[in-house]
Amino acid sequence: MSAILCGTAMLALLNFQQASDRGAPGFSVVVDSARHEVRVVTGPYVLPAMMGEGHHGNHHAEGHETPLFGFAWPVSGGLRGFSVEVMDGSHRPLPQTLLHHLNVLNLDRRQLLQPAVERVVATGQETRPVLLPPSIAIPLPLGARMAMMAAWKNPGMTDLHDVWVQLTFRWSPADLVPRPQPVLPVALDADYEVGTSDAYDLPMGHSLKTREFVMPIDGRLVAVGGHLHDYGVALRLEEVATGRVILELKAEVAPDGRLRDMPRKLPGVSGPGLALRAGRRYRVVGEYNNTSGRVIPDGAMAVIGGLFAPRCMRCWPGIDPTDASFVRDLATLPGAGWAGKKWLETPSLTQLIRAPLTPNEAGMTMIP
């Protein structure tokens, strides 16, 4: 590791301790060029006890959501994987189940199906480390405006102090030969309107949540996973005209209905991928079986997340800064009142966060 990167790593470690000392969340970005890693560390957080009520509705009611942290993507190359670690201030591991979800956003690219900011990474308590084959990668240019936010849940009986999260990215260098095939993240959500939460009330017993959409471009799903909550049964993607099930992800749950794991599939690695055609109508289905005996407010989500290889990369929808839905999405991100007008006026995140942030420098920068 170069001297400047060593200095960056020491800064991150110093930030870790200083933030712990003063009890306010800190944020640092470390580049390890030898390992092709970008490490983002934030904390400490205090997680109030939820007294055994760890479902999504209570999580929001207790306000276990971080503000939005911003940083410039510090390397040139494609994103190939990530892993998440939850720890205390002494780097001792804590249960990942404390982390309800963590999202990393690319403020300079929109989603495929909605005029909303691209969610490059979306993890939940069931998410395992992701490492893509070297043949594919998500293109991220040097200096891309990124942001990270997390939501927590502490279903225990006591408050937790000094909680940290580290997100480690793996990237492929821009000069890699042969060059990886570019893929972009897609979210196929059974209940989402731009600028609102995609959580919905979970009724008692067996239930289905469905949503239909029309594909705007041709391409192939090359990797897929899913996000459900407790009492989840399965996620499916269907072709409306034929009723054909294109994809099914069955949840692994405990006898009491608690979610244990969601499967992943790599149809573009062992085969040609799952073709989705422009102009065709598809349906996302989220299936639950709530055996708790009560309705759970905001207790369910149903999202298929995947990597999509467009047939024409230039055909990906561009950002329309005047689109009301896009502006609303920015403005409703947690702690992101800066987003709408300031985003349109600011050519770089470096100016937006009012702190120096170059490819080889890191600091504790939080967007106000």
Residue 349 has pLDDT above 50, yes or no: no
Query: In this predicted model, which residue has the larger pLDDT, 97 or 255?
Result: 255
Q: Rounded to whole angstroms, how far apart are CA atoms 28 and 15?
A: 7
**Judging by beta carbons within 10 Å of its beta carbon (0-12, 13-18, 19+), is residue 252 exposed, middle or buried?**
exposed
336-366 burial, b if ≥16 CB within 10 A, otherwise e? bebbbeebeeeeebbebbeeebebebbbbbb
Task: Check residue 20 and give its pLDDT.
Answer: 38
Task: Check residue 49 and give its pLDDT.
Answer: 84
Task: Check residue 348 and give its pLDDT.
Answer: 43
Query: In this predicted model, which residue has the larger pLDDT, 246 or 101?
Result: 246
Residue 355 has pLDDT above 70, yes or no: no
Q: Rounded to whole angstroms, how far apart are CA atoms 326 and 110?
A: 8
Q: Rounded to whole angstroms, how far apart are CA atoms 30 and 3?
A: 13
**How far lies 136's CA from each of 174, 180, 266, in Å?**
12, 5, 12
Q: Rounded to whole angstroms, how far apart are CA atoms 33 and 1?
A: 7
| Reported confidence tier of residue 128, pLDDT bands at 50, 70, 90 | confident
Residue 23 has pLDDT above 60, yes or no: no
| Reported confidence tier of residue 335, pLDDT bands at 50, 70, 90 | low
Q: Cis link prior to 178 (omega < 30° from 0)? A: yes
Instruction: Check: pTM over 0.85? Answer yes or no.
Output: no
Query: In this predicted model, which residue has the larger pLDDT, 4 or 275?
Result: 275
User: Is beta strand 136-140 parallel, antiparallel or unpaired with respect to 77-88?
Assistant: antiparallel
| Reported confidence tier of residue 194, pLDDT bands at 50, 70, 90 | confident
| Reported confidence tier of residue 234, pLDDT bands at 50, 70, 90 | very high
Q: Which two tokens stand for residue 131?
A: 């490492």
Q: Under a CB-based contact definition with an 8 Å cutoff, are residues 142 and 359 in contact?
A: yes
Mean pLDDT of 82-87: 92
Mean pLDDT of 54-80: 66
Mean pLDDT of the chain: 80
Query: In this predicted model, which residue has the larger pLDDT, 123 or 360?
Result: 123
Task: Check residue 4 and give its pLDDT.
Answer: 27
Least confident of 110-124, 183-197, 227-241, 327-341: 327-341
In the three-class reduction of DSSP (H, G, I as helix; E, B as strand; rest coil), residue 122 is classed as strand
Outline where DSSP puts E strands in 205-254. Answer: 205-214, 219-228, 232-239, 245-250, 252-253
| Reported confidence tier of residue 96, pLDDT bands at 50, 70, 90 | confident
Q: What is the CA radius of gyration of the chain?
A: 20
Q: Rounded to whole angstroms, how far apart are CA atoms 29 and 6?
A: 12
Q: Which two tokens stand for residue 76?
A: 């040139």
Task: Check residue 126 and give its pLDDT.
Answer: 61
Mean pLDDT of 142-154: 85
Query: In this predicted model, which residue has the larger pLDDT, 51 or 4?
Result: 51
| Reported confidence tier of residue 120, pLDDT bands at 50, 70, 90 | very high
Task: Check residue 52 and give its pLDDT.
Answer: 55
Task: Check residue 125 and give its pLDDT.
Answer: 66
